[in-house]
Amino acid sequence: QQQVKQSPQSLIVQKGGIPIINCAYENTAFDYFPWYQQFPGKGPALLIAIRPDVSEKKEGRFTISFNKSAKQFSLHIMDSQPGDSATYFCAANLGDSNYQLIWGAGTKLIIKP
């Protein structure tokens, strides 16, 4: 019940396309869902995050869609660029009451020029 399942494991998209990465969870007590971007040899960096009280959040070319009833959330990257090539992780935690981030397994994204 503490898992976050992420798919796909890897994804190749042409430049300008819209990669979509999906995550699903079981624990309805989760109330904070961040996405992290990790480049090879670097630590994860927070990209965008959402709470269950909204269904969508947009920051620049990155959008999170959140479906509370289905217990799913997804990351969309608009007008993708080769520089977006990285590994993306979704995560979840219990907000103020829990500091442990539960991580998905990651999606390796390649944007072809």
Partner 1 sequence: NAGVMQNPRHLVRRRGQEARLRCSPMKGHSHVYWYRQLPEEGLKFMVYLQKENIIDESGMPKERFSAEFPKEGPSILRIQQVVRGDSAAYFCASSPTAGEDTQYFGPGTRLTVL
The yes or no reply on residue 74 touching partner 1 (CB under 8 A) is: no
Task: Write the burial class of residue 105 (CB in 10 Å: 0-12 exposed, 13-18 middle, 19+ buried).
Answer: middle
The yes or no reply on residue 110 touching partner 1 (CB under 8 A) is: no
Judge contact between 93 and 100, C-beta under 8 A.
yes
- In the three-class reduction of DSSP (H, G, I as helix; E, B as strand; rest coil), residue 83 is classed as helix
Q: How far is the CB of 45 from partner 1 (least distance, A)?
A: 7
Binding positions for partner 1, 86-105, rule CB under 8 A? 89, 91, 93, 95-96, 99-105
What is the end-to-end Cα distance of the chain in Å, rounded? 39
Q: How far is the CB of 61 from partner 1 (least distance, A)?
A: 20
Residues making contact with partner 1 (CB under 8 A): 4, 6, 32, 34, 36, 41-46, 49, 89, 91, 93, 95-96, 99-106
